[in-house]
Amino acid sequence: MASSNSIDELLQLRFDDAPQDVPGDTDTSHWQSIANHQSCRLYEDKPVHPDLVQQLCALALGSPTKSDLQQRDIIIVSDPDKRATINALFPDSPWIEGAPVFLVFCGNNRRLRQIHERHGHPFENDHLDAFFNAAVDAGIALSAFALAADAAGLGTCPISTIRDHLATINELLDLPDWVFPVAGMTLGWPTRTPRINLRLPLAATVHTDTYNEVAQWDAIEAYDARRAELRPYGSQRDPDRFGTRDPYTWSEDKARQYAKPQRTDFGAYIRAKGFKLD
Ligand SMILES: Cc1cc2nc3c(=O)[nH]c(=O)nc-3n(C[C@H](O)[C@H](O)[C@H](O)COP(=O)(O)O)c2cc1C
């Protein structure tokens, strides 16, 4: 999604403490769309050519992968009945139904185990790392897909809520043992440029030499205030339980979000896929 702002301006808006006028002769021209990344939840009623989708998949799967193991797959959901089933799961997220393309990014530790079997070598890494590596690999591909789409003027929105419906998604996509959904992804042509989202200041999230929380609370407080001013929430989460706040801040919203259990069945699902999580 295009922006006329400079990279320095975009990073400053996003973080409030991003470095400016960085010296050097680095060619930063293709950072523009990365700096301007925004999830997109409103799409034109216009198809995305299937070859373009394949090309984005190729760019996504060209991203780094742990030990060259390539433990992630992308499922393009093109069948209208399958799309309708998925759309119906999310009445509160109309951008899923409104997106011309829907994909699911999966972690895949199955292929590696099959390769072991074929070569007659034991798979001696049946522990948490097997799941973790595949999940991280899928996340990296998901991010690369989103950034490649951004750079082409397309818009995306990752959809982790597909994991609220594990049994349905598993059956619909016919996912075998050791293959699991990490997130869905909507894709399409944005109707308009959404607004860039703000992030915590780098003072809270970038450390040198050691993990250091000294600056964290001041940074969160400043972020809360800045975000409430520039990007106020449209509604408050669970007001019956928590009341209403003014200002309603990012940290209040996040603390409310995880005050409610979510996806408590995910561990059981992953174990049932064959993973040992010790
Ligand atoms: C792994 C992952 C899962 C996400 N799941 C959802 C989702 O289920 N529904 C949704 O609307 N947005 C989802 N998002 C989008 C985030 O809400 C979004 O990235 C975040 O609010 C920051 O906004 P930005 O991407 O515009 O900067 C997800 C993002 C990621 C990375």
- Protein residue with least CA distance to atom 31, ligand 1: 158
What's the total number of domains in the chain? 3
Question: Beta strands 179-188 and 101-108: pairing type?
Answer: antiparallel
Q: Domain check: are 90 and 188 in the same one?
A: yes
User: Mean pLDDT over residues 220-247, rounded?
Assistant: 98
Is position 18 within any domain?
A: yes
Q: Domain check: are 68 and 185 in the same one?
A: yes
Is position 272 within any domain?
A: no
Distance of CA 58 to the CA centre of its chain: 18
CB atoms within 10 A of CB 114: 12
pLDDT of the residue at 150: 97
Indicate whether 229 pLDDT > 80.
yes
Residue 126 structure tokens: 């049946």
Q: CB of 262 closer than 6 A to ligand 1? A: no
Q: CB of 143 closer than 6 A to ligand 1? A: no
pLDDT of the residue at 5: 83
Please report which confidence band the pLDDT of residue 4 belongs to, taking 50, 70 and 90 as the band edges: confident
Q: CB of 158 closer than 6 A to ligand 1? A: yes
Is position 186 within any domain?
A: yes
Query: How many A from CA of 37 to the centre of ligand 1?
Result: 12
pLDDT of the residue at 29: 84
Percent pLDDT > 70 in the chain is 99
Is position 206 within any domain?
A: yes
Sequence-separated (6 or more) residues with CB below 8 Å from residue 11: 18, 19, 35
Q: Domain check: are 10 and 129 in the same one?
A: no
The one-letter code for the residue type at 129 is: D
Is position 274 within any domain?
A: no
Is position 224 within any domain?
A: yes
Please report which confidence band the pLDDT of residue 1 belongs to, taking 50, 70 and 90 as the band edges: low
Sequence-separated (6 or more) residues with CB below 8 Å from residue 59: 144, 145, 148
Is position 14 within any domain?
A: yes
3-state secondary structure of 169: helix
pLDDT of the residue at 255: 98
Q: CB of 39 closer than 6 A to ligand 1? A: yes
Which domain range does residue 225 map to? Answer: 202-257
- Count helices and strands (H / E) in the chain: 13, 4
Indicate whether 2 pLDDT > 80.
no
Task: Give the pTM.
Answer: 0.97
Is position 112 within any domain?
A: yes
Indicate whether 152 pLDDT > 90.
yes
Convert the pLDDT of each residue in 75-88 to its tens digit.
Answer: 999 999 999 999 99
pLDDT of the residue at 57: 99
Residues 233/194, Cβ–Cβ less than 8 Å: no
